[in-house]
Amino acid sequence: MEASLHSLLSLLTFIFVLAVGLGAAYALILFFVDINQSKSAIRRNYPVIGRFRYLFEHLGEFFRQYFFALDREEMPFNRAVRTWVYRAAKDVSTELAFGSTRNDTNVGDHHFVNSVFPVLEEEKSCSTPIEFGPYCKTPYRAKSFFNISGMSFGALSKPAVRALAGGAASAGCWINTGEGGVSPYHLEGGADVVVQIGTAKYGVRNERGELSVSKLKALAEKPNIRMFEIKLSQGAKPGKGGILPAEKVTAEIAAIRGIPEGEASISPNRHPEINNTQQLLDMVNRVRDLTGKPTGIKLVMGDPAWLIELCDVIHARGIEQAPDFITLDSSDGGSGAAPQPLMDYVGLPLRESLPLLVDILNEHNLKQRIRVIASGKLVTPGYAAEALATGADAIVSARGFMFALGCIQAMQCNKNTCPTGITTHDTRLQRGLNVEDKAWRVANYQKKIVHDVEMIAHSCGVNQPSDLERKHVRLVTENGRSVSMAELYERR
């Protein structure tokens, strides 16, 4: 017994000494490599030790939110917002005690004007369905004002898309495919689906990259495909097409998109056949005529003068030729990979562009004809309700539903290394995403948003969210005092 123990200790000692020796030898090699290279000043001045900065920099993305950031200071979404979504998705209480931690004195912060006589619980009514495409062969009556925004299969993993589609079906909202085309996983849950047609026409393209009539008609025949959305631009990168790294272009994704496997998927920065407003309406009407279903456009607002031109052209051609909806994305969108200059500096934020769009449509008597869908960081009830009060008819969210899936804001979306399995095609990482559980969370989150927006509406004295108006919202101004949104954004 003692001899065996002695032999074991000797072996462990030998292994330890060997490991220390190998480690020392490796460190010595790194020392000479670092001190003799000239590309990194840190590694040259601090050999070996300087390498730890890369490790700490990488780990900092994960640890910052847990150990260093305060509840309300992190970007793009702070811990308080993420925690609310997590709790809503898990169907646990979102109630707080001892007061709000929100700093509500920043310029632009909103406050809802509660009524002295709120709507009684027994008198409240559910949200009215929203009709799209009154001139279509097959109009669409959307059951919910809060829906899942465009996120492509490819940018998202298969289990993530399956969970989103299953959750959408359970909650009664629609799911937008994103520009990556319609996958079987969008359809399998039976949810209403909005098909996005991006600049590369993924999923509806022929061998020349042009719009395929046969593929478009085949999609339109699927009963749960409800609408088509022609994407002109998105919040993360106005003026640039979609970006999918080569390592994410699997055989399955390549087949769905109609592109070569293993090559980066880079979309054109605009539709080559759309050079002006007339051609844009031509495309809208072509898709609508071929499918018989509501067709709209998605864009980030740049110069608002173009919207006036659009309205004038619509009236010249006839209002039946107008887009059935406009999805307005905010410049602070960001579920897709994008160059930082575009993400940081290009396009107008939703808080400025949404009232502009709504007012221009009202001025040209087109607001009832063209539904407005708002998008961009509307992940909590307060911001969703504000958008509806501003004039949006419906809301879509991408990152809110990513949080519902379990996203931890690790900022790895474009690297195929997402630790939660949401934006990676690494099957080892995807294993952690349980489709049934995450679908349940997606549905919980959607229903909680709807419930709480309705609660805000009832507090303001109106029966449903669509009855909210600008007079129900006050915005903080530069002097610290609030002013009614109705006064701040007076219709021209």
> What is the per-residue pLDDT across 16-44, written as a single tens digit (0 to 9) for each?
777 888 888 888 888 888 888 766 655 67
Determine the average pLDDT of the residues in 413-428: 80
- Residue 65 has a pLDDT of 57
Confidence of residue 492 (pLDDT cuts 50, 70, 90): very low
Determine the average pLDDT of the residues in 159-175: 96
Both tokens of 401, joined, read 């539903």
Scan for tokens 């039976």, then name that residue: 190
For residue 262, pLDDT over 80 is answered with: yes
Asked if 432 and 351 touch (Cβ cutoff 8 Å), the reply is no
Work out whether strand 371-375 and strand 394-397 pair parallel, antiparallel, or are unpaired: parallel
Q: 124-134 pLDDT, tens per residue?
A: 777 789 999 99
Report residue 52 CA to chain centroid gap: 34
Instruction: Tell me which of 387 and 238 has the higher pLDDT.
Output: 387
DSSP 50: G
Determine the average pLDDT of the residues in 378-400: 95
| Nearest-angstrom CA–CA distance, 175 and 151 | 9
Asked if 397 and 379 touch (Cβ cutoff 8 Å), the reply is yes
Q: What is the CA radius of gyration of the chain?
A: 26
For the chain, domain boundaries: 2-68, 121-488
| Nearest-angstrom CA–CA distance, 389 and 360 | 16
| Nearest-angstrom CA–CA distance, 127 and 124 | 10
Q: What is the Cβ-side half-sphere exposure of residue 365, based on CA atoms within 13 angstroms?
A: 3
Q: What is the Cβ-side half-sphere exposure of residue 459, based on CA atoms within 13 angstroms?
A: 14
Asked if 198 and 231 touch (Cβ cutoff 8 Å), the reply is yes
* Selection from 314, 295, 306, 123 nearest residue 195 by Cα: 295
For residue 299, pLDDT over 50 is answered with: yes
| Nearest-angstrom CA–CA distance, 464 and 130 | 13
Work out whether strand 482-484 and strand 473-476 pair parallel, antiparallel, or are unpaired: antiparallel
Residue 194 has phi, psi (to 5 degrees) of: -105, 125
- One-letter amino acid at 258 equals G
Task: Name 343's Cβ contacts closer than 8 Å, sequence gap at least 6.
Answer: 236, 237, 334
Category of 209 on φ-ψ map: left (φ > 0), alpha (ψ -120 to 50) or beta: left
How many helices (H) and strands (E) are present in the chain, helices listed first?
17, 15
Residue 76: asked if its preceding bond is cis (omega within 30°), the reply is yes
Confidence of residue 108 (pLDDT cuts 50, 70, 90): confident
* Selection from 142, 181, 143, 144 nearest residue 161 by Cα: 181
Which range, of 12-26, 211-225, 446-460, 472-486, averages the lowest pLDDT? 12-26
Determine the average pLDDT of the residues in 451-462: 94
* Selection from 373, 392, 374 nearest residue 324 by Cα: 373
The CATH number that domain 121-488 falls under is: 3.20.20.70
Q: 143-154 pLDDT, tens per residue?
A: 999 999 999 888
Determine the average pLDDT of the residues in 66-71: 54
For residue 482, pLDDT over 80 is answered with: yes
Beta strands in 135-250 (DSSP E): 140-142, 146-148, 174-176, 192-197, 225-231, 243-244
- One-letter amino acid at 265 equals S
Residue 105 burial class via C-beta count within 10 angstroms: exposed 0-12, middle 13-18, buried 19 and up: exposed
Sign (positive or negative) of CA dihedral 349, 466, 143, 385: positive
What's the pTM?
0.85
Residue 195 has phi, psi (to 5 degrees) of: -90, 120
| Nearest-angstrom CA–CA distance, 294 and 337 | 29
| Nearest-angstrom CA–CA distance, 170 and 88 | 15
Task: Name 371's Cβ contacts closer than 8 Å, sequence gap at least 6.
Answer: 130, 132, 296, 324, 325, 326, 393, 394
Both tokens of 380, joined, read 């909590």
Residue 15's alpha-carbon distances to 1, 18, 22, 24, in angstroms, are 21, 5, 10, 14
State the virtual CA torsion across 403, 406, 410, 411 in degrees, nearest 10. -50
CA angle 272, 226, 377 (to 5 degrees): 70
Work out whether strand 295-300 and strand 325-329 pair parallel, antiparallel, or are unpaired: parallel
Asked if 325 and 296 touch (Cβ cutoff 8 Å), the reply is yes
Scan for tokens 């400025």, then name that residue: 352
| Nearest-angstrom CA–CA distance, 382 and 474 | 12
Category of 157 on φ-ψ map: left (φ > 0), alpha (ψ -120 to 50) or beta: beta
